[in-house]
Amino acid sequence: MLEDSAAFEPWREMARAALQRAIPPEALDWRIRGGETDLFGQITDDGAGLEALTALPVAKTVTLRASCIALLRDLLCHSDPGRFALAYRIAWRVQSNPHLLEVTTDADIARARIMVRQNREDCHKMASFLRFREDPVQQCERRRFLAWFEPQHHILERIAPFFSKRFTDMDWMILTPRGSIRWDGKELVCSPEPCEQPELDDGFGELWDTYYASTFNPARVRTKAMRREMPGRYWKNLPETRLIPQLVAGAEARVRTMAEQELRPAPAFHERLRAREQRPAGPPLPDMAETLDVLARQIRICTACPLHCPATQAVVGEGPPDARIMIVGEQPGDQEDLAGRPFVGPAGQFLHEALAMAGIDRGTLYLTNAVKHFRFRLQGRRRIHQNPDAGHVVACRPWLEQEIALIRPKLIVSLGATALRALDGPGMAMSDVRGTSWTVGTGENTVRRLALAHPSWLLRLGKGTQGNSERRRFVEGLARVQDVPSPWEA
* pLDDT score for 220: 76
Contact 342, 370 (CB under 8 A): no
pTM above 0.85? no
Q: CA 414 → CA 52, 327, 369, 478, distances in Å?
A: 86, 6, 9, 11
- Give, as one character, the DSSP assignment of residue 2: B
∠ CA 173-179-185 to the nearest 5 degrees? 30
In tens digits, what is the pLDDT along the chain, a chain of 490 residues?
A: 566 665 688 888 888 888 988 899 998 888 777 544 344 444 333 445 666 666 677 777 888 889 999 999 999 999 998 999 999 999 999 999 999 999 989 999 999 999 999 999 999 999 988 888 887 766 666 778 899 999 999 999 999 999 999 998 889 999 999 999 999 888 999 998 999 988 877 777 778 888 888 888 877 777 777 777 766 667 777 777 778 888 888 888 888 887 787 777 888 888 878 777 776 666 666 677 889 999 999 999 999 999 999 999 999 999 999 999 999 999 999 999 999 999 999 999 999 999 999 999 999 999 999 999 999 999 888 899 999 999 999 999 999 999 999 999 999 999 999 999 999 888 788 888 998 889 988 777 889 999 999 999 999 998 888 989 999 999 999 998 876 554 444 3
Q: Are 341 and 369 in contact (CB under 8 A)?
A: no
Phi and psi dihedrals of 199, rounded to 5?
-90, 110
Give the 3-state secondary structure of 324-386: CEEEEECCCCHHHHHHCCCCCCHHHHHHHHHHHHCCCCHHHEEEEECCCCCCEEEECCEEEEC
- 366 C-beta neighbours (distance < 10 Å), count: 24
Q: Which residues are 450's β-sheet partners?
A: 413, 437
- Asked if residues 347 and 454 have their Cβ atoms less than 8 Å apart, the reply is yes
Interior CA angle at 408 toward 403 and 414, to 5°? 65
Helix (H, G, I), strand (E, B) or coil at 413: strand
What is the dihedral sign for C-alpha 281, 285, 287, 290? Answer: negative
Minimal CA–CA distance to 86: which of 106, 58, 66?
Answer: 106
* CB neighbour list of residue 54: distance below 8 Å, 6 or more residues apart: 17
Within 8 A by CB and 6+ apart from 324, the residues are 364, 409, 410, 411, 484, 485
Which residues are within 8 A (CB) of 51 and not within 5 positions of it... i.e. 6 or more apart?
A: 44
Write down all domains in the chain, each with its CATH number in brackets.
8-125 (no CATH), 130-191 (no CATH), 205-260 (no CATH), 271-483 (3.40.470.10)
Burial tier of 94 (Cβ tally within 10 Å: 0-12, 13-18, 19+): buried
Q: Which residues contact 114 (CB under 8 A, 6 or more apart)?
A: none
CA distance linking residue 207 with residue 205, whole number of Å: 5
User: Measured between alpha carbons, how far apart are the two ends of the chain, in Å?
Assistant: 86
DSSP string, 5-41: T--HHHHHHHHHHHHHTT--GGG----BTTSSS-TTT
